[in-house]
Structures are given as structure tokens and as C-alpha cells.
Structure 1
Amino acid sequence: MNTLVEKLIATGITIGGGIIGTKVVEFAWRKVTGHDAPKDLDDTEANMWSAITFATISAGISAIIRVSSKRGANSAVKAIQSRTKSRAGAAEV
């Protein structure tokens, strides 16, 4: 399989996982704290510790998603390659 296709698959899975992960972290933050996630630098309502805590949690979740999506993308590419090879082998007989 073309490495460009593999990279596109991995990128798509990573972006999708990142978007979903961000939404999950924001939802969980809102449920636990009762406030929206601190994003705006000019927001005087969000104190420094809540911003640091949110950034730390987000970074940890982001790292987990990145590793998981990379592994998932590699598995998907290998599955596609093995399916393609088995079909090509069957056609050659």
C-alpha cells in the first residue's frame, strides 16, 4: 500500500480522536467543576490553578489519544494490506 495512503489514514484517525478527546475532556471538566474549560487568556474568571490543571489533564489525554490512534492506524493499515494481499494472491491462482 502506498505510504501516502497510510499517512492519510493515520492522520484522519488522529484528528478524529483528537476532536473526540477534546470534547470529552471539556464535557468532563464542565460536569466536575461546573464551569466551562479555561481557554481564553483574557478571562479573569479562570484562575491560574484551574488553567494549569486543565492544561495538564488535556495534555495527558492528548498523549494517550495520540499513541492509541497511532497504534490503531497501524493496525488498520496492516489489516488493509493483508486483505489486499490475500485478494491478490487468490486472483493469481
Structure 2
Amino acid sequence: MNLILKLLSTGVSIGAGIVSAKLLDFLWTRITGNEPPRDNDGVLDVNLRTAVVFAVVSGAVSQAIRVLTTRGTQRAIQRYQKTPEVV
């Protein structure tokens, strides 16, 4: 059962990462009115300040998602270990 919980934890983390990336792209477009900075065939068409701000925001969001999913899965594992027959 421990393997199943680890796989579930990995799946939740990946899913949350994908959802947060899509949400960040959507919010960036809504707030700034521009598409998020992307490297298109080696050409980055934004200024350095915009690219750095996007990188910092993206990194902060990804770390927050990582911490939240790790804490959530750890709580779920602890809850399961206390009452495995109920789950």
C-alpha cells in the first residue's frame, strides 16, 4: 500500500504542476495583456525584466504547489497509517 501512496503523491504533484502552469499562463495574459515569455526557436521576444519577473513568479508558484502537495500527501499517509482498515 505504501507504493500506491507514493504513486498517488507523484500523480497529484504532476497534476497540480500542470494545472498551476496553465493557471499562471492564463493569469499572466489577463493581468499583463501579453503572452507569457516563451523561447520560440531560440528567439525570446520580450525584454529581460519581463522574463525575470515571469521566472520569479513561476518559480514561487511551483515551489508553493510543491510544498502544499507534499504536506497534503503526508497528512493523508499519516491518516491512513492511523486507520488503515477504514480507508
Q: TM-score range by the shorter chain?
A: 0.7 to 0.9
Q: When the two structures are superposed, what TM-score results if normalisation uses the length of structure 2? A: 0.83
Correspondences of 1:8-19 after superposition (within 5 Å): 8-19=7-18
Count of residues paired in the alignment = 86
Bigger mean CA deviation after superposition, 77-86 or 20-29? 77-86
1:5 counterpart = 2:16:
no
Identity %: 36
Q: Where does residue 59 of structure 1 map in the other structure?
A: 59
How far the C-alpha of 1:40 sits from its partner, in A, is 0.9
Q: Distance in 1 between matches of 2:45 and 2:38?
A: 11
How far the C-alpha of 1:46 sits from its partner, in A, is 1.2
How far the C-alpha of 1:44 sits from its partner, in A, is 4.2
SS of 1:58's partner is helix
Q: Where does residue 30 of structure 1 map in the other structure?
A: 29
Q: When the two structures are superposed, what TM-score results if normalisation uses the length of structure 1? A: 0.79
Relative to structure 1, the CA distance from residue 16 to residue 44 in structure 2 (aligned partners, 3 Å threshold; closer, same or farther) is closer
Higher helix share: 1
Q: Where does residue 46 of structure 2 map in the other structure?
A: 46
SS of 1:40's partner is coil
Relative to structure 1, the CA distance from residue 12 to residue 43 in structure 2 (aligned partners, 3 Å threshold; closer, same or farther) is same
Q: Distance in 2 between matches of 1:86 and 1:69?
A: 23
Q: Where does residue 84 of structure 2 map in the other structure?
A: 84
1:68 counterpart = 2:68:
yes
How far the C-alpha of 1:70 sits from its partner, in A, is 0.3
Gaps spanning 5+ residues in structure 1: where? 88-93
How far the C-alpha of 1:17 sits from its partner, in A, is 0.9
Gaps spanning 5+ residues in structure 2: where? none
Q: Distance in 2 between matches of 1:12 and 1:64?
A: 17
